[in-house]
Structures are given as structure tokens and as C-alpha cells.
Amino acid sequence: MMFSPVHRFRDIERKPEYLHPEKCIPPPRPGSLGTMWFIRDGCGIACAVITWLLVMYADFVVLFVMLIPSRNYIYSVINGVVFNSLAFLALASHFRAMLTDPGAVPKGNATKEFIESLQLKPGQVVYKCPKCCSIKPDRAHHCSVCKRCIRKMDHHCPWVNNCVGENNQKYFVLFTMYIALISLHALIMVGFHFLYCFEEDWTECSSFAPPTTVILLILLCFEALLFLIFTSVMFGTQVHSICTDETGIERLKNEDPTWERTVSWAGMKAAFGGDFSLNWFNPFKSVTSKTDLSPATPASETTSGGREGCSEGCSQELDDCEEEKFTTSHRLMEPPADFKGNLKSTSGL
């Protein structure tokens, strides 16, 4: 009789010592490593730098090719102020999304002391991540790029060099919205500038030579059109995830909700930090997380299978512990003080 990997892993999970709390290094004290959050990923850093350079290129073309040479002073001032204000808010939102802790679970907290402090009841389930040695709260997923478990992780986006989680989703939504707005604004200005140059002398509608002007405007047009489509799709996807209280990973894995959903307008208020106001559009206004950090869930709840994936347009290096997917969750049938009991397998991380 042949045994499947499920049966072999279940034989391992019946051993109560599988949690190995003694092998986990206690997490560092808060503040010992500083409060700065930054992911040292070469691809993500390159994508973030490219994002800033593309915005700066668009600003250069808008100012020095279209607005400054224009004879209409009011038109130039109004469009210059609007475009640069939106570009500033876009870069500020990108900065906050990149440098804000998305909701990382303390690394190495799967210690004996921490498990005992949970005061779990018999029949409750505890999920341990073997990669970062952490007790995973409900709806947390491990990111192989950030090398941490992230609460309410939606996806890892290289363009902001960070995961999108419960603490920085607002900034990511604002980033996509402001980029879409400046892209649309740039397209409209390029259209008007082409019409103006066709009616007038090309040598007078720009301070650059006509061939250079055409090349710069065409490149800006392609950039604006591409990012308008991309960020509009991402913005709509994120708003849909907030309104349905379902992250991109949960949607791809088709997980049955085991949590009380905060949907529609209540979800928007939770994600943006309060009732509707101008602070919703302010990337400098922080959001206070109110997520329950308890890692325990009732034993009757199950986790559906699937791999942690990415939202549209963004990429993520998937967690490489797929072969250990049956050994990452544990059912403690007895109080965890003596670590006795049976362990329950699951097909999801």
C-alpha cells in the first residue's frame, strides 16, 4: 500500500513536539532595530527608482515642452500647479507605501513563552510559519521577498518595493489613483499641444526643435497611456478588495471567509482610517490598525488550498515551502503548557 505525502506528513504532525518552540529565537525588543521599514530587494529598488524617474520625465515634458513655451499664461499656471500637485501626492503616496510596515508579524515569536501566553483553549488551531518562525494570525501570509508574514497581505508589488497589507493599503490605493490622474492629465495636455502646434508654426510652439518635440511628446503619450490603464486596473482591484474585505491572495485561493467581513462603506472607512474626509486623500495621514492579532481560530474552521499569489500587474516570489504545506498548522488538543496533543494538517499556508 502506497502512502501519499499527506499521510507521511500526518505521521509527523502527530508528534506534539513538532512545533519546536525551543528552536525559535525570541523576537528582538521593539525599537532595537529601529523603526525604519525598507525591503532590500534589488528588483524592487530598481522598480521604485524607475517609477520616480518616469514621473520626473513626465514633469519635465509637461513643464519645459508644453507649458513654459505656451503663450497662454493662465493656462500654463493652472495646469502646472494641478499637474505638479498631483505628481507630488503620487510620489508621497509611493514613499509612504514603500517605507510603511505593511503589517509584519513579529519574527521568531513562536517561542514557548509566547505560545503559553496565548492561553489557547483545547481544540483551537495555531499556525506556525516555518520560514520566519512566527505564529501566524488569521489572514496572515508569508512573503518570500519581504521574508516575513504579513497581516491581510494582498500581494507583493515591486513598483513600491513592499507588500500591500493592512497598514499601507491606503497609501497604495492613493498612489495608483494619483498616478492615473496625472497620466490622464498628461494625455489631455499632449492632445491639446499637438492641436496647437498643427495650427501654429512648430518652431514657435516649443523651445525644442520640432523633431525633438515630437519624440518627447510621443514618449510621454505612450507612458501616460500605459500607466493610466495599469494604475486604473490596480485602483479598481484594490477598492473592490476593500469593499468585499477579501485580499488578492484570499480571492486567488478561493478561501471560505472565517472572519467577520467589514464590507462596502465600512470597509473603506476601516482602510482609510475613519469617516470620509480630506484625510482620505492625504498620504501623510497615518492609519491606525484595529486588526485582531490573535493567531488562534476555532478548530471547526478550515483553510482551503492554493498558493499565495499576486494581484494583477504585480509580481511576487512565491513562498517556497510548498512541500511543507501539511506541516505548517497545528491543532493543540491540550493546553500548550506541556505541548501535548494532536496536530491537524492543512492544505494552505
- Please list the active-site residues: 157
Pairwise CA distance, residues 57 & 71, whole Å: 22
Q: How far is CA 313 from CA 40, 156, 157, in A?
A: 21, 10, 8
Judge contact between 206 and 117, C-beta under 8 A.
no
DSSP string, 220-260: HHHHHHHHHHHHHHHHHHHHHHHHHT--HHHHHHTPPP-S-
Q: Which three cell numbers stand for residue 141?
A: 501570509
Q: Indicate the pairing of strand 155-157 with strand 162-164.
A: antiparallel
Q: How far is CA 74 from CA 61, 71, 107, 181, 344, in A?
A: 18, 9, 55, 21, 69
What are the beta bridge partners of residue 124?
Answer: 332
DSSP string, 17-66: GGG-GGGSPPPPPTTTT-S------HHHHHHHHHHHHHHHHHHHHIIIII
Pairwise CA distance, residues 131 & 197, whole Å: 59
Pairwise CA distance, residues 331 & 341, whole Å: 8
Pairwise CA distance, residues 212 & 65, whole Å: 10
* Amino acid letter, residue 300: S
C-alpha atoms less than 13 angstroms from C-alpha of 325 in its C-beta half-sphere: 18
Distance of CA 159 to the CA centre of its chain: 10
Phi, psi of 294 (to 5 degrees): -65, 130
